[in-house]
Chains A and B, each alone.
Chain A
Amino acid sequence: MSYTKRNDGRKFDETRPIEAKVGVIKNADGSAYFKIGKTVAYAAVYGPRGIHPKFLQNPKNGKLRCFYNMMPFSSMGERVRPGANRRAKEIAMVTEKALLPIIDLIEFPNSVVDVFIELPQTDAGTRCAGICAASMALADAGIPMKDMVASVSIGRVDDKLVVDLDYSEESYEDGTVADIPIAVISRTGEISLLQMDGKLSREDLKKAIEMAKQACSKIDKIQRDALKKKYEVKNE
């Protein structure tokens, strides 16, 4: 049996509805909210600020440090145990690597920029939502950036390539599933995150990357509009 119609009626190359906002956390230097379908991500940026212990300091460059956290009742399954686990640490690391090519901390030696990603509600695609939110929050914090990064997951559900899987597709039972989160640097089209879970042919992977680039350019526009909206002239 093949996957002919998506569970929520979307087109195969359509993302879930997206909402984006910046400046949502008052005490942070920069913050953003990114919602894609039922997945919600908040990102808060603090810094550049001093870093301790001292051996973590880099006198040649500033440091980027990311934290990823799924809140205890965010998923549909069991309660997530609070605190960092193996998965969260890995995702924090890949998020950091996805964001590093766009930020420029050469002006801030011996300092750190902290990015905290919190997920109050999840329905697959959390690392992608987290990266999108973090990219906006970094821009909102006024960190020198060469570009912005957008991210989406592409998957193969049975025999079809689909954009932005939700949980029901990720756990599709009538066939095999592959899930590929991809982050794309918007202006240059470079890829800063590419992971793969499941099997995929070479041709399908090429197609998947093309689909990701298209979806990411749409997400990028939403991100930029959200940033500009913060400074829009309000008519009183």
Chain B
Amino acid sequence: MGKLLVENKTIVTPGEELAEGMDFLPAEGTFRDKDKIIASGLGLVNINGRLIKTISMAGRYIPKRGDTIIAKVTDILMSGWILDIASAYSAVLSVKEAKDFIRRDADLTKYYDIDDYIITNIIRVTSQRLVDVSMKGPGLRKLIGGRIIKANSNKVPRIIGKGGSMVSMIKQATECSITVGQNGIVWISGSPEKEIIVVKTIKKIEQEAHISGLTDRIKTFLEKETNKKINIEKVE
């Protein structure tokens, strides 16, 4: 009979034994060594029935197909742009994947210049981590104004919250427009004082993401910072 060696939602370090016996199955962030399941990184244990996985607490963004990210133009090619996507790899946006039709001899800097930030979508990732992105889709555009901050990409699900509850609460409290890229880059636009509050809130979420009762703590934090009451509808 299998035996669990750790409790759910505890923090484990690489090489820690999580379970014994063949009843449990290793998932993401774990591996099997003979009859034991071992953590393969620093993370939060998540036990789901027979599956044991660890949710990583740190690490660079790993590009995945379908992710909407915020990227920075770092170079311009003959027929596209090179983007920094806050990962170990850069991405390429081809002119074919730009929003409108671009003529062959057009000046590409007119569309996206070096150092511009864009919201874009990953359409392809190869085994060698070559990344292709596209601007075709709703909400994909060049970012003008506002400020960019970099957050830990592993905390993005907590920044967004269940069904977008956390980010909409911050938007409601600060009246800023906020876009969170899956790669951890966040774009904020609003009045300067309110933008600072958003930055502080996101830093707080990053630090306390693994501690339960996050939404309530962020709510009180935002109420204190903005001096106004927030009504949130519970998202189930």
**Which A residues fall within an 8 A CB radius of B?**
29-30, 47-50, 59, 102, 104, 107-111, 139-148, 185-187, 223-224, 227-228, 231, 233
The residues of B that contact A49 with a CB separation of less than 8 Å are 60, 88
Q: Which of B1-37 contact A (CB under 8 A)?
A: 11, 13-17, 31
The residues of A that contact B14 with a CB separation of less than 8 Å are 102, 139, 145-148
Among candidates A50, A111, A145, A231, residue contacting B41 with C-beta atoms closer than 8 Å: A145
Query: In the docked arrangement, what's the CA distance between A107 and B62, Å?
Result: 9
Among candidates A110, A144, A233, residue contacting B129 with C-beta atoms closer than 8 Å: A110
Query: Interface size for chain B: under 10, 10 to 19, 20 to 34, or 35 or more residues?
Result: 20 to 34
The residues of A that contact B17 with a CB separation of less than 8 Å are 187
User: A108–B11 contact, CB under 8 A?
Assistant: no
**Which B residues fall within an 8 A CB radius of A?**
11, 13-17, 31, 38, 40-42, 56-60, 62, 88-90, 127-129, 154, 210-211
A50-B88, A50-B90, A110-B129 given; name 12 further pairs at CB < 8 Å.
A29-B59, A47-B88, A102-B14, A102-B15, A109-B128, A110-B128, A139-B14, A141-B58, A142-B57, A144-B41, A227-B11, A233-B211
User: A29–B129 contact, CB under 8 A?
Assistant: no
Query: In the docked arrangement, what's the CA distance between A47 and B88, Å?
Result: 7
Looking at chain B's contact residues, the main secondary structure is loop
User: A143–B128 contact, CB under 8 A?
Assistant: no
Query: In the docked arrangement, what's the CA distance between A141 and B90, Å?
Result: 20
B56 to chain A, nearest CB (A): 5
The residues of B that contact A223 with a CB separation of less than 8 Å are 13
Query: In the docked arrangement, what's the CA distance between A101 and B183, Å?
Result: 29
B157 to chain A, nearest CB (A): 15
Query: In the docked arrangement, what's the CA distance between A199 and B60, Å?
Result: 45
13 A-B contact pairs sorted by A residue (CB < 8 Å): A59-B128, A102-B15, A108-B88, A110-B129, A142-B59, A142-B60, A145-B14, A146-B31, A147-B15, A148-B15, A187-B15, A224-B13, A227-B11
Query: In the docked arrangement, what's the CA distance between A107 and B16, Å?
Result: 21
User: B42–A227 contact, CB under 8 A?
Assistant: yes
Q: Which of B16, B58, B89 has most A Cβ within 10 Å?
A: B58
The residues of A that contact B56 with a CB separation of less than 8 Å are 142
Query: In the docked arrangement, what's the CA distance between A146 and B32, Å?
Result: 10
Query: In the docked arrangement, what's the CA distance between A228 and B211, Å?
Result: 13
B199 to chain A, nearest CB (A): 15
> In this complex, what residue of B is CB-closest to A187?
B15
The residues of B that contact A144 with a CB separation of less than 8 Å are 40-41
Query: In the docked arrangement, what's the CA distance between A187 and B13, Å?
Result: 12
Query: In the docked arrangement, what's the CA distance between A50 and B16, Å?
Result: 30
The residues of B that contact A59 with a CB separation of less than 8 Å are 128
B22 to chain A, nearest CB (A): 19
